[in-house]
Every structure is written in structure tokens, then in C-alpha cells.
Amino acid sequence: MAVENFNHVPVLLEEVLDGLHIKPDGIYVDGTLGGAGHSSQIVKRIAEKGLLLGIDRDEEAICVAREKLKEFENVQFVHGNHDDIKEILEELDISGVNGILLDLGVSSYQLDEKNRGFSYMADSQLDMRMDKTALMTAKEVVNTYSEEKLANLIYEYGEERFSRKIAKNICEYRKAKEIETTLELVKIIEKSVPRKKGEGHPAKRSFQAIRIEVNDEIKPLYQTILDSIDCLKPQGRLCVITFHSLEDRAVKKAFIEAEGRCTCPPGLPYCSCGCKHLGRIITKKPILPSEEEMAHNSRSKSAKLRIFEKAM
């Protein structure tokens, strides 16, 4: 994909840059490189001795980011998953970093690319893989999962109250033929969900749920946050942007775990409960986009930024 067609407006950009507390000679990781919207601003704030490491599971994103950041020599690119951040840093012989950014969810360009199958607004093959080398596709989920399993994932990941009706109609449809395209799936969902004015497209929640399942976006997240904190140098910062309540819940839970909560009785001269204090939560409440940002960038409306700082 050409850089000019790779449209990406970074969400909560200034808040992320402030939250990372960027040091000119520091090492920073953008674990969700995408169109390099955040990275292009992070790299401008580090000197030649500093390093920006960009990780993405989407090879197209890396190609575009490489072109966009070609003037900078202190950038490394890795085709990989941020869930494997500890292994990635070990392979690069990096013992600790000063900051990590995780901008979770699907990127704008992935939604815009009609042949990727993320969008319910265009007809394409049912794919939805962020990493095209992965085996699991949306087509496999839709055509092989049991009715109960489909209903549960659409309800849990999509928060769709008509999940059971959708799952039932998917299973009825595929008795006659395999569901191959996004348009076929959209039509099934449209027949299953009563459309009310102002509620948005009826397929939005189901497509989100299937995408999350295909890319395994929720299950590893709690451990990924703890691993990311473990990779930070003293006083290093982790910034995480979420767009889904389950994502935000996992991040919040991991932050609380990392900060530690001593349960010893008051006045005890030492801690005996085994509490581990890895650092502090900077954002007691998540940072939300401004009214102005939401007006200019609709994708930012559900965004939440949480920040954690590693202890000294």
C-alpha cells in the first residue's frame, strides 16, 4: 500500500507524548506501529543515541512505516506481536526500555482496506487477520464454530444483545453453503438485528467480536501488560490506549496487580503478605480525548489512555 493511501490519525497524541516522558537518549517501543502516527512524533523527540523500536503484526504496516520514517536512522522494525515483547527484546539484546506504547485494536487503514475483510461496509473475503501469515481467519470462525460458541463470543466481545439470534441464523445459513464474504455475513446479521435509528450499523458489534477472536486480542492482554512493565527501566513509562471495555478492564487489572496492594495489618514493621510493588499508576482515571479531538477524529470517541511508571 502507498504511504499516501495509508491514512492514520494518531489518537491522544499529545497525551501519549507527555505520558512517555521522552528522554533524548532513551529507548522507546511502539508495540502497535500501524501507520507510524505516534512513532513519527516519538522519533522526533529522541537523539541519535536514542532508539525507537516499532513492532507490528501487519507486514503492510511495517512497509509503510519504514517509508514514512526513512529519514531516521535510529529506528528498528520488527514483524511480530506485542504479546511477545519480552522475547523480541531478548532477541535484540535489549535489557530494558524507557517507554512502551500500545495502541490497541484495529487501525484505520485496516478498516479502509476493502480486501482485508475488517469492514462491514465493503464486500470482500472473510479474513480479518492483522497478520496475514496467521492461520485463523474470520471465515473459519463463522463456518466452524458451534452455535453456542458463536453466540458467546459475539455477546462477550461485541456486547451484542442479539448474539443468540445472530449465531442461530449463521448456523442455519451455512447448512446450505459456506459463508465466504463479508456481504453474506452482513445480510445474515441485518436479518437478525432490529435496526433502530441512531444505533449505527447492525453488523458493527459482531464484526468487532469476530475480529477480536481471529486476532486473539483479549486473552493474552493482561500478561502482555505485566510483561511490558517488566521490560521497563526504572522510571520507565507504559502508555496503553484501549477502545473496548474488555481491553480497558484487563489493563486496569494488570496495573493494579503491578502497583501492589499490601494487605498487612497497620503498624507491622515489615510486609509479610508477599505484596510486590513494581511501580505506580499515573492515571487513577483514564485520560479521555477532548471534545475537539472527538469532533475531528471519530475513532477517538471510545479511546482511553492509562499510564504506568516503573519503580526506581
Residue 112 burial (10 A CB sphere; 0-12, 13-18, 19+): middle
* Predicted local confidence at residue 294, as pLDDT: 94
Residue 109 in this model has a pLDDT that exceeds 70: no
pLDDT tens sequence across 196-211: 777 789 999 999 999 9
Q: What is the mean pLDDT of residues 103-114?
A: 76
pLDDT tens sequence across 245-268: 999 999 999 999 999 877 777 777
* 31: number of Cβ within 10 Å: 26
Q: What is the mean pLDDT of residues 20-34?
A: 97
Q: What is the mean pLDDT of residues 71-100?
A: 97
Closest CA to 242 of 38, 56, 104: 104
C-alpha cell of 118?
A: 475488517
What number of CA atoms fall less than 13 Å from residue 293's CA on the CB side?
17
Q: What is the mean pLDDT of residues 179-185?
A: 97
197: left (phi over 0), alpha (psi -120 to 50) or beta: beta
The structural domains of the chain, ordered by start, are 3-105+219-310 (3.40.50.150), 132-215 (1.10.150.170)
* Predicted local confidence at residue 7, as pLDDT: 55
Average per-residue pLDDT for the chain: 92
Higher-confidence position of 143 and 5: 143
